[in-house]
Copies of this chain bind each other. A is one copy, B any other.
């Protein structure tokens, strides 16, 4: 299993649950956006077993901490995660309530001129809201 190494290297034990979640999240070239709830549904469908909701939360947060996932800042009752952790941005279609990837090359370079003492920039995220 190709994810065993990845997990071990991160100090995470390669458990059955984590490996299954890895398969769903990372075993594709496509990046995708998901909520915890959507992920849980996908787990149920894919393998006729279920992983405890708490474990799904734990795992997603562990992966986020290790940098394998990131949250997408958006006003929604549920938190959205993204398997694409490279610097990139999003369209948010207000009508469809769907996220669409924006490559870095789709957005001109962003230069933040203002500085705050003692703080450094961790990330720059652009959300482009779309309407009809």
A-side residues, CB < 8 A to B, are 71-75, 79, 91, 93-94, 100, 102-103, 105-114, 116, 118-132
Contact = CB atoms under 8 A, between A and B. Distances in A.
B108 A120 contact: no
A91 B116 contact: yes
Contacts of A123: 128-129
Please state the number of chain copies in the assembly. 2
A123 B93 CA distance: 11
A112 B106 contact: yes
A109 B102 CA distance: 17
A121 B102 CA distance: 13
Contact of A94 (B110, B122, B131): B122
Nearest to A123: B129
Contacts of A127: 73, 124-127
A126 B129 contact: no
A128 B113 CA distance: 12
Nearest to A95: B119
Nearest to A131: B122
Nearest to A96: B119
A112 B122 contact: no
A117 to B, nearest CB: 11
A130 B119 contact: yes
